[in-house]
Each structure stands twice: as structure tokens, then as C-alpha cells.
Amino acid sequence: MSIVIKIENLHKSYGDIKAVNGISMQVNNGEMFGLVGPDGAGKTTTMRMLCGLLSPDEGTASLFGKDIAKNRKETQNKIGYLSQRFSLYGDLSVDENIEFFADIHNVTNFETRRDELLRFTRLTPFRERLADKLSGGMKQKLALACSLIHKPEILFLDEPTTGVDPVSRRDFWKILSDLQKEGVTIIMTTPYLDEAERCNRIALINKGKIISLDTPQNIKASINKEVVEIICDDIKNAYNTLKDNPEFDMQIYGNRINVGVENYSNDFPQIESILIKSGVKILSHRVVTPSLEFVFIDLIKKAS
């Protein structure tokens, strides 16, 4: 599998803030690769450098074996970019927006491609509607169609489903899956760890650094802990009681507490005893597969 993106020791600062702090990674042709992390982690800055929109302070980034900084125009012709604030023109129709972006990319005889994209994104019935009159999910699909009009080899998506309703999110992911089957390499940023599970590989980023890079399955397996899901009658009391025990890693999810332990058989009786002494009644418990969220938070704690 050929490498289409290569980053080596990439740095970018804004004043005293190190937005990207020594990132190195590779992305293979045809992959769906996720840059995953909280707001301010450095995801968008990294993506903008890969698109040639920002210059790194240090390090190199290459697309198709060519340095982006030295071959900006050539590399940009091969990519599509959907930013967090993609600029649709509200007073233009769906058709007119796509035509506008076709013109920007010097795409002639674009009508057949536009029709394909409208069918692909299920926007054909709305082609005459003004962009300002579209729902949030439909605007994102139109923005995606605009970024695909010139048939890019790599598609960069910066948090494409933020603020999109669940049904539109599902439609959007179906479209991305179909694009990947067509051979398009997809690089996306997301704060949503459930979305990260859909990627072939992901880089977990925090404070401008990659703290783990692998398949979602391998990252979850790397924790080397068993996770016990506990449901009890007083979650707040249970959490406050257990947090005083540093040997347990804990995260709370609604009416559940997930506790990471070295060995369930040895450690759960101790947890049970501590909670009972605090007046907490355990309603049920079970060993569960660690979620990506649990592992990410655990890695952040270890890195801090």
C-alpha cells in the first residue's frame, strides 16, 4: 500500500501556544484516517498545513512524495477540503454553488459530474433551492459535493458532522464509505470518538502531540486493563468514594461508572467492599470492552 501523506516532526506555534508540537505520521492510499482529540488539540492546524493553507514553523509535510510548501499549487489540485466554516453562497442555488466551485477549479463540462454528485448526496430534488434554505445536514452534503467537483484524490474533512442531526450524520458516513470504496483517501478531524471507530486508523492528539496512533481496535487493546461497568443506587457517592483510590481508573457515564482494574477477580471484591462500607448498593456489574473514550482519557492522564 503506497504512502500518500507523510509528516515529519511538524511544528506550528501561535505566540507562546504550541498548536502542533512535533507530529510525525503517514497515511496510506485509500485509507480513512482520523485525527481525534478535544478542541484545541491541534487537529485543524495540522490539517490546514496539509492543505497548504499554513506553513509549518519546523518539519516537513508531503503529499504524493512532494513537499507541500514547494509544490503547493500542484498538490492543492489533487485535494478537496471541507473546512469547519465552509463558505457556501446562500443566495445561490444548489446547482449554482456547485457550478461556482467547478469554475474555481477550472472544471469544464462539469454538468455530468454535478448530476452524479447530486444523486450521490441525495440532493437532486433540491437542486433549485437556495443554499440558505437548506437544513444543516443538507448544507454539509452540498459543501461535500462542492469539494468533490474536481475529483480529488485526497479529501480533507474538518469536523464535518459537528452540529449535524443524527440522521444526516448517518447519511454523511454512508457517503464517505462509498467514496472510500471508490479509492478516495479520506483524512478527517473529529472530537467524536464513536466516529473515530469507523476509521481504518486514527491518531489521538492532545496538546499538539500524538499520544497514540493505530487502528481503533489496537488502541483499545493497548490499555492492558479490564474495565468493570458498575450500576449502583448512588452514582455520585460511589464516584467520590472510589476516586480516593489511585489504583483505580474511573470514568462516569450517566448512571454508570467504568472502573479500570488490573485483574477483575482480584480487584472487584475490593471495589465492592469499599462501596458497601460507604452505603452504596451495587445494582449490577459486568466486565466490558474498554471504549475508545476510556482509553483516550487514560492515555491523557498518563501523558500529563
Residues 26 and 156 in one domain: yes
Q: Are the C-beta atoms of residues 86 and 159 closer than 8 Å to each other?
A: no
Q: What is the residue-averaged pLDDT of the chain?
A: 91
pLDDT at residue 206 above 90? yes
pLDDT at 229: 95
Q: Are the C-beta atoms of residues 62 and 5 closer than 8 Å to each other?
A: yes
pLDDT at 162: 80
Residue ranges of alpha helices (H) inside the chain are: 43-50, 72-76, 94-104, 111-120, 136-148, 166-181, 193-196, 216-221, 235-242, 264-277, 292-303
Residues 242 and 282 in one domain: yes
For residue 195, how many other CB atoms are within 10 A of its CB? 21
2-42 pLDDT, tens digit per residue, is 999 999 999 999 999 999 999 999 999 999 999 999 889 99
Question: Cα-Cα-Cα-Cα dihedral of 86, 194, 48, 17, to 10°?
Answer: 120
DSSP category for residue 145:
H
- Of the pLDDT bands very low, low, confident and very high (cuts 50, 70, 90), residue 254 is confident
Look at residues 155, 181, 214 and tell me which one is the last residue of a structural domain: 214
Of residues 41, 3, 1, the one with CA closest to residue 23 = 41
The residue-averaged pLDDT of 99-105 equals 92
Tell me how far apart the alpha carbons of residues 301 and 304 are, in angstroms, rounded to a whole number. Answer: 5
- Of the pLDDT bands very low, low, confident and very high (cuts 50, 70, 90), residue 127 is very high
pLDDT at residue 118 above 70? yes
Q: Are the C-beta atoms of residues 123 and 94 closer than 8 Å to each other?
A: yes
Residues 250 and 127 in one domain: no
Residues 206 and 276 in one domain: no
Provide the CATH number for the domain around residue 78: 3.40.50.300
Q: Is 77 helix (H, G, I), strand (E, B) or coil?
A: coil
Residues 78 and 192 in one domain: yes
Tell me how far apart the alpha carbons of residues 274 and 277 are, in angstroms, rounded to a whole number. Answer: 5
For residue 139, how many other CB atoms are within 10 A of its CB? 21
The alpha carbon of 138 is separated from its chain's Cα centroid by a whole number of angstroms, namely 20
- Tell me the pTM: 0.88
Provide the CATH number for the domain around residue 255: 3.30.70.270
Q: What are 188's three cell numbers?
A: 478527517
pLDDT at residue 240 above 70? yes
Residues 85 and 227 in one domain: no
pLDDT at 76: 83
More confident residue, 124 or 303: 124
Q: Are the C-beta atoms of residues 14 and 44 closer than 8 Å to each other?
A: no
Tell me how far apart the alpha carbons of residues 132 and 117 are, in angstroms, rounded to a whole number. Answer: 19
Structural domain span for residue 288: 223-303
Residues 244 and 114 in one domain: no
Q: What are 184's three cell numbers?
A: 478516495
Residues 136 and 234 in one domain: no
Q: Is 266 helix (H, G, I), strand (E, B) or coil?
A: helix
The letter for the amino acid at 20 is: V
Could you give the percent of the chain with pLDDT greater than 90? 63
Q: Are the C-beta atoms of residues 198 and 32 closer than 8 Å to each other?
A: yes
pLDDT at 101: 92
266-295 pLDDT, tens digit per residue, is 999 999 999 999 999 999 999 998 889 889
Residues 46 and 92 in one domain: yes
pLDDT at 299: 87
219-233 pLDDT, tens digit per residue, is 998 888 899 999 999
Residues 230 and 144 in one domain: no
128-186 pLDDT, tens digit per residue, is 999 999 988 899 899 999 999 999 999 999 988 887 788 888 888 888 899 999 999 99
Residues 22 and 56 in one domain: yes
For residue 290, which phi and psi values (nearest 5 degrees)?
Answer: -60, 135
Look at residues 165, 192, 214 and tell me which one is the last residue of a structural domain: 214
pLDDT at 169: 83
pLDDT at 87: 78
**Domain count of the chain?**
2
Look at residues 214, 233, 248 and tell me which one is the last residue of a structural domain: 214
Residues 292 and 230 in one domain: yes
Q: What are 107's three cell numbers?
A: 472544471
pLDDT at 1: 67
